[in-house]
Amino acid sequence: MVDMNTADAEAIRLTLSGDKDAFAVIVARYTERAYRMALYVLGNEQDAMDVSQDAFIRAYRNLNRFDTNRPFFPWFATILRNLCYNFLRRRKRKQAYNIEDFQIAEPSSPSSPSSEPCSGIAVETKVALNNALSKLSPQDREIIGKFYFEDLSYKKIADELGVPIGTVMSRLYYARKHLKDRMLKGER
Amino acid sequence: MTHERFKHLLLKVVDGVASDKERQEFLAHIRSCEECRCEYGEFRNLEELMSTIKLKDLSEDARAAYARSLYNRLERGLGWIFLSLGAILLLGFGGFMLIKEFIINPAVSVILKIGVCAVLAGLIVLLVSVLKERLFVRKYDKYSKEVKL
């Protein structure tokens, strides 16, 4: 069985040799992840579509600079991250952070959230989460999204961000602390 | 226990990746530290909440629309490159011919030359003004900055 990195490298080599359809394999494989990443950083579906598409266009135009011995997605994610941050810096009008695509599952048991004596997060909603996320920095939103919405391990997050695992744990600690504080205490 | 050590263990315990020894060390600490116990409880509650929240997958239709839109934009990008190259060539050639056949041609009257130059200057000023306005009102400029790879 061909692993994903090999399959990506092959698709990229074909693209560079003039087979434009080969890039469709890369797009199909990473559309969902690219869109999600842009979505939880930007907080708006249409902007996430536009910016993640920009990232694919940039990647396509810079494919000759990609080292095919390395995995594709961390390289692509760097392009996407820079575009998202540039977009947020340049966005002149204030845009509400509102992700409609959040799904909230019913809890499997009605127990714990309120069982802790110091609890404040009990019956939080999509609105509260959007509100809390909107007040985090884009860097905090990114690491929160990778951890919770993409279910990535510390190691995978470290690979994608190009930082040591210890740094990921430290950033995750503070990002989760900020999220928790905002969920608990509302707007500050 | 230092604060750094606590936050390191807190994440490992909450995420279920702490060793037995680390877990015991952590639990011993929170038994005697109310502040840390409280923070641990809040982190656990956040985990329980976040474990119930997912992002919806893109539907097949949305994925297809995304791919279509992406390829249209890629094609359009190529179109703009060709159009720009062609326009530069044509404008350069047109300017050269204008000077050669019209401006320095003694058979053409000075009044006509001034009139044509004024019309061209007016068109250039208007074009630059419209372009400036268009760029200014854009909510962001997608392609003006190179991505740092």
- H or E segment to which residue B72 belongs: helix B60-98
Alpha-carbon span A179 to A149, nearest angstrom: 14
Of B34, B39, B31, B49, whose CA–CA distance to B10 is shortest? B39
Residue B113 maps to a domain: yes
User: Residue A103 corresponds to which tokens in the numbers above?
Assistant: 């799904």
Say if CB B139 and CB A92 are below 8 A apart.
Answer: yes
Last residue of a domain, one of A90, A120, A145: A90
Whether residues B63 and B89 fall in one domain: yes
What number of helices (H) and strands (E) belong to chain B? 5, 1
Nearest to A27 among B10, B49, B70 (CB): B70
Say if CB A182 and CB A188 are below 8 A apart.
Answer: yes
**pLDDT tens profile A30-80:** 999 999 999 999 988 889 999 999 999 999 999 999 988 889 999 999 999
Number of folded domains that form chain A: 2
* Beta-carbon contacts of residue B114 (< 8 Å; ≥ 6 apart): none
**pLDDT tens profile B11-41:** 889 988 899 999 999 998 888 888 888 889 9
Residue A59 maps to a domain: yes
In terms of residue numbers, what domain contains A138? 112-185
Residue B148 maps to a domain: no
Partner A contacted by B55 (CB < 8 A): yes
Whether residues B124 and B96 fall in one domain: no
Residue A107 has a pLDDT of 53
Residue B147 maps to a domain: no
Residue A105 maps to a domain: no
Contact B49 A113 (CB under 8 A): yes
CA distance A79 to chain B (A): 6
Residue B5 has a pLDDT of 79
On the question of pLDDT at A100 being above 80, the answer is no
**What sign does the CA torsion over B64, B65, B69, B72 have?**
positive
Whether residues A77 and A116 fall in one domain: no
**What sign does the CA torsion over A48, A50, A55, A59 have?**
positive
Residue B144 maps to a domain: no
Whether residues B115 and B92 fall in one domain: no
Residue A130 has a pLDDT of 84
Residue B48 has a pLDDT of 85
Residue B145 maps to a domain: no
**pLDDT tens profile A134-179:** 889 999 999 999 999 999 999 999 998 889 998 999 899 999 999 9
Last residue of a domain, one of B34, B50, B66: B50
Whether residues B126 and B90 fall in one domain: no
Interface test with B, best of A15, A33, A44, A56 (most B CBs within 10 A): A56
User: Residue B85 corresponds to which tokens in the numbers above?
Assistant: 């190259």
User: Residue A114 corresponds to which tokens in the numbers above?
Assistant: 């309120």
Whether residues A119 and A166 fall in one domain: yes
In terms of residue numbers, what domain contains B82? 58-105
Whether residues B112 and B98 fall in one domain: no
**pLDDT tens profile B68-96:** 999 888 888 778 888 999 999 999 999 89
CA distance A87 to chain B (A): 7
Count CA atoms within 13 Å of residue A132 on its CB side: 23
Whether residues B10 and B30 fall in one domain: yes
Of A136, A112, A110, A129, whose CA–CA distance to A184 is shortest? A129
Residue A144 maps to a domain: yes
Whether residues A119 and A58 fall in one domain: no
Alpha-carbon span A58 to B104, nearest angstrom: 46
pLDDT band for B102, please (50, 70, 90 cuts). Answer: confident
CATH code of A71's domain:
1.10.1740.10
DSSP collapsed to 3 states, chain A: CCCHHHHHHHHHHHHHCCCCCHHHHHHHHHHHHHHHHHHHHHCCHHHHHHHHHHHHHHHHHCHHHCCCCCCHHHHHHHHHHHHHHHHHHHCCCCCCCCCCCEEECCCCCCCHHHCCCCCCCCCCCHHHHHHHHHCCCHHHHHHHHHHHHCCCCHHHHHHHHCCCHHHHHHHHHHHHHHHHHHHHHCCC
Contact B49 A39 (CB under 8 A): no
Number of folded domains that form chain B: 3
Whether residues A69 and A132 fall in one domain: no
Residue A81 maps to a domain: yes
How much is the ipTM here? 0.77
Say if CB A12 and CB A63 are below 8 A apart.
Answer: yes
Whether residues B91 and B129 fall in one domain: no
Contact B149 A170 (CB under 8 A): no
What's CA A26's distance to the chain center, in Å?
A: 18
Whether residues B9 and B34 fall in one domain: yes
Q: Which residue of B has its CA nearest to A119?
A: B42
Whether residues A10 and A81 fall in one domain: yes
CATH code of A162's domain:
1.10.10.10
Whether residues A86 and A131 fall in one domain: no
Residue A70 maps to a domain: yes
The 3-state DSSP class for residue B58 equals coil
Residue B37 maps to a domain: yes
Residue A67 maps to a domain: yes
Residue A99 maps to a domain: no
Whether residues A69 and A126 fall in one domain: no
**pLDDT tens profile A12-32:** 999 999 887 899 999 999 999
CA distance B110 to chain A (A): 49
